[in-house]
Every structure is written in C-alpha cells, then in structure tokens.
C-alpha cells in the first residue's frame, strides 16, 4: 500500500542549533517512507552537522547557498519552492523565526519560504529564555497570523544545561503533524469514540483475567482518525502504548468500567468503534485478600460482562446513530461469525480479525482483516501494517457516511 508520504516533495530546512543532529533521524525516516526530501541548510546549520550527512540520508543534493554552482537553469530558490508539497524547518532557531516573521530573504532558506506557496511547518528548538522572550513570542504570533504552522517545542533538559521548554519535539509527534497536513481531512467535523486494548478483571489483589490484546489496532485507528481531521476520544483498557497526540484518552481497567466509559461518551459521537477486546466474563467475586495456594483444585464463578457493542447497537435502533463499527476476533468460521455479529449487534461495519494466522491479530504490528458492511459487501484485505489497516477501515467508513 502506498503511504501518504510516498512521492511527496518535502523541502526540509535546517537552521543552526545543536538540535540539527536530530534532524538527521527525521530526514532518514521521511526518505524511508519514500518522500522526496530536499535539504536546505543555513550557513550556521552546516557548522553543527555536515551537509554530507543529509545528502547521504536523503539521497539527494543538499543546498546551502543562494549562488551555488550547478543550480541549473532555473533560479534555485524559485524552482525548489515551486515544486514542494510541504516545507518543514527543523530545528527552527530564534533567528530563523525572526527572519520569517519579518519577510527577510537574505539566505536561501528564508528566500525559499517566501517563494513557496505550500504549507510551512516550523519546529522551533532553542534555549527556553530565548523561546519565552517577548520578541520570539511576538514573532511566533506573527508567523501564525501569516498562516505558518508553529509547533510548540518539548520540555526537558536542554543542550545548554538549562531545564525547560525548547527541546526539538520527538519525531513521532512531528510525523503526525506532517501526515495530518498531507492527509485528506475527510473526517473533519466528526466526533469519534474508539475503545481499545484488553480489560483486566480482578480476581484478587494479585491476579486477574485478561486477554492478549495490546491496543495497537485501536490506537492506530485513533491516530489515523485524528490525522484525517476528526475529534477522537479513546477509551482505553490497560496498554503500554503511548497515546497518539491530540487524542483525548479515558483510561479504564475492567469491562464494567469500559461499559461506563463508553456509555458516557457515545452520546456525543458521530461514529463509535469498538476495537477493545472486552473480557466476556469476570470473576463473580473479587477477593479482598490474596488467595493462598493449596494442593487442592479450586473452582470459582465467572459472570458475564455487559456486551457493550450489543447495547450500543440496540440503542441505535431507535436513534439511528451513531455509525457503529465492531470487531470480530475469530479463529474459525471468520466470515460467517462476522456476518452473525454484524447482524446481531446492529452494526454498520464489522472488521473481522484473524487471530491465529501468522503476523496477524493480538500484539503484532500487522493485521489481516476482512470488512463486511451493512449491505453485506465483503472486502478481504491483504496483510497490512495496523496503520495501513486503519486507513482502509476509515476509507470504508467515509463511504458509509456518504
């Protein structure tokens, strides 16, 4: 599957901060995702990291000056600016922000920004006093007014030894920003509630009943929906995954808590996706003290948890909303079971997950799913990364919304 970044022309500006070395990873990741990255460095940036580093990572010529040899027939700045789908500047120093805020064009990078007519994404990195200085803040306000995107830097220990705001943000957050600018905003205006992960059903203070779900599929759905413009509320069972940026997260533990969380959230939702692996049963009684072992076998009662999706499907019969997407975790009779659940739970779409195949199902980074929509149309998808899988599921949801 072609990724959003494949073939995109990204003009990647680097200005003179020690954080310039971190831009090497960003350029490598963008190139790995098949973006065509052209790096432009300010003179100060070349003192921190060599242009050769970026030429090797991007596989393309690196530009540093306005009047370089071999610039071609076109004026370099005009041709590079005209071709780009996106301009990214990381790190953007206080000096670069000041220049751009005042429309300076005294080096190649600032000239290119002026000559471009695509979106410009600025990732500032500097000492916290410099960042918080009223002059820098006034420049940022001006840049926002001009329509530039300025991403607030991270907090933490800075290269100068100070602690505070000013760190170049992590690549994963930057990646989301870049992708959300390139993505079609076809989920804009939609409020989407997604459940994810397993549930933990306590037996005693030490033990619990759970399942193998990692939350990866639900989190990928949340990340991609946010990227495509939705407001996303993620109701998550216990998961080790970092929540996606700009997603509202409600942490729950048990099936009953997830039930409560979903019932509280679904009313504001246009779309609900139950990707969580809710435990069908919970211990009838949670022991207050740890149960001690003995040589005898023990028996304990399991009582059913509420079927959250079924309850939402029943509610939908009256209100005819929200659009409801369920998952089916299957090890046999996948399609027949998927169809049954689609009908019984009154869904618009069911995602049938093969949980015993190779590289698919619980805990893996890839997934093999089939989709059946409310008209019983079946789409069998190939083995995809969970993020690609999420893209395909949202493509289908967008069609159902029409």
Nearer to ligand CTP by Cβ, of 110 and 305: the residue is 305
User: Which of 69, 63, 64, 60 lies closest to 9 in space, CA to CA?
Assistant: 60
Number of C-beta neighbours around residue 160 at 10 A: 13
Token pair listed for 211 = 């399942």
Nearer to ligand CTP by Cβ, of 208 and 308: the residue is 308
Nearer to ligand CTP by Cβ, of 94 and 392: the residue is 392
DSSP state of 70: T
Q: How far is the CB of 318 from ligand CTP (least distance, A)?
A: 19
Q: Are 330 and 246 in contact (CB under 8 A)?
A: no
Nearer to ligand CTP by Cβ, of 329 and 381: the residue is 329
Which residue has tokens 């509420």? 306
Q: Are 39 and 60 in contact (CB under 8 A)?
A: yes
Nearer to ligand CTP by Cβ, of 230 and 272: the residue is 272
Judged by phi (left if over 0) then psi (alpha if -120 to 50, else beta), residue 7 lies in left
Token pair listed for 376 = 């019983």
Q: Are 204 and 198 in contact (CB under 8 A)?
A: no
User: Where does 107-221 show beta strands of DSSP type E?
Assistant: 119-124, 149-150, 154-157, 163-167, 191-196, 201-202, 208-209
118 is catalytic: no
Q: Which residues bind ligand CTP (CB under 6 A)?
A: 255, 274, 276, 278, 280, 305, 307-309, 326-329, 341
Q: How far is the CB of 196 from ligand CTP (least distance, A)?
A: 9
CA 391, 393, 399, 402 dihedral sign is negative
Nearer to ligand CTP by Cβ, of 327 and 394: the residue is 327
Q: How far is the CB of 209 from ligand CTP (least distance, A)?
A: 13
Q: How far is the CB of 229 from ligand CTP (least distance, A)?
A: 24
Q: How far is the CB of 203 from ligand CTP (least distance, A)?
A: 18
Q: How far is the CB of 382 from ligand CTP (least distance, A)?
A: 21
Nearer to ligand CTP by Cβ, of 307 and 395: the residue is 307
Q: Are 324 and 311 in contact (CB under 8 A)?
A: no
Could you give the 3-state DSSP secondary structure of residue 363?
coil
Cα 209 from chain centroid (whole Å):
30
Residues 6+ apart with CB under 8 A from 117: 81, 82
Q: How far is the CB of 343 from ligand CTP (least distance, A)?
A: 12
Enumerate the β-bridge partners of residue 193: 233, 272
CA 85, 86, 87, 88 dihedral sign is negative
**Would you name the residues annotated as active-site residues?**
160
């Amino acid at each position: 599957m072609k990724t959003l970044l494949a073939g995109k022309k990204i003009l990647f500006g680097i200005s003179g901060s020690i954080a310039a070395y971190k831009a090497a990873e960003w350029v490598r990741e963008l190139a790995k995702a098949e973006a065509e990255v052209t790096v432009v460095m300010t003179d100060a940036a070349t003192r921190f990291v060599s242009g050769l580093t970026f030429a090797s990572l991007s596989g393309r010529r690196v530009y540093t000056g306005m009047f370089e040899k071999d610039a071609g027939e076109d004026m370099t700045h005009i041709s590079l600016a005209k071709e780009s789908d996106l301009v990214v500047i990381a790190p953007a120093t206080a000096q670069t922000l000041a220049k751009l805020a005042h429309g300076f064009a005294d080096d190649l990078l600032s000239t290119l920004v002026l000559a471009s007519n695509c979106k410009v994404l600025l990732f500032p990195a500097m000492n916290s006093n410099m960042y918080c200085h009223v002059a820098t803040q006034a420049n940022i306000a001006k840049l926002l007014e001009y329509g530039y995107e300025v991403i607030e830097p991270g907090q933490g220990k800075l290269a100068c030894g100070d602690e505070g705001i000013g760190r170049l943000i992590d690549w994963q957050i930057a990646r989301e920003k870049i992708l959300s600018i390139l993505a079609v905003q076809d989920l804009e205006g939609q409020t989407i509630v997604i459940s994810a992960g397993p549930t933990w059903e306590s037996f005693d203070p030490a033990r619990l009943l759970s399942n193998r779900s990692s939350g990866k599929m639900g989190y990928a759905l949340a990340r991609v929906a946010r990227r495509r413009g939705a407001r996303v509320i993620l109701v998550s069972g216990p998961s080790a995954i970092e929540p996606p940026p700009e997603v509202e997260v409600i942490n729950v533990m048990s099936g009953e808590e997830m039930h409560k969380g979903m019932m509280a959230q679904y009313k504001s939702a246009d779309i609900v996706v139950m990707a969580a692996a809710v435990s069908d049963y919970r211990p009838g009684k949670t022991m207050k003290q740890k149960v001690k072992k003995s040589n005898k076998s023990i028996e304990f009662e399991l009582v059913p948890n509420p079927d959250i999706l079924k309850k939402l499907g029943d509610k939908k019969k009256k209100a005819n909303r929200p659009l409801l997407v369920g998952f089916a975790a299957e090890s046999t009779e996948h399609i027949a079971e998927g169809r049954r659940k689609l009908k019984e739970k009154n869904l618009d779409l069911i995602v049938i997950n093969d949980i015993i195949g190779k590289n698919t199902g619980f805990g893996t980074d890839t997934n093999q799913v089939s989709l059946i929509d409310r008209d019983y149309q079946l789409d069998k998808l190939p083995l995809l990364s969970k993020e690609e899988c999420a893209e395909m599921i949202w493509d289908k949801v967008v069609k159902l919304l029409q």
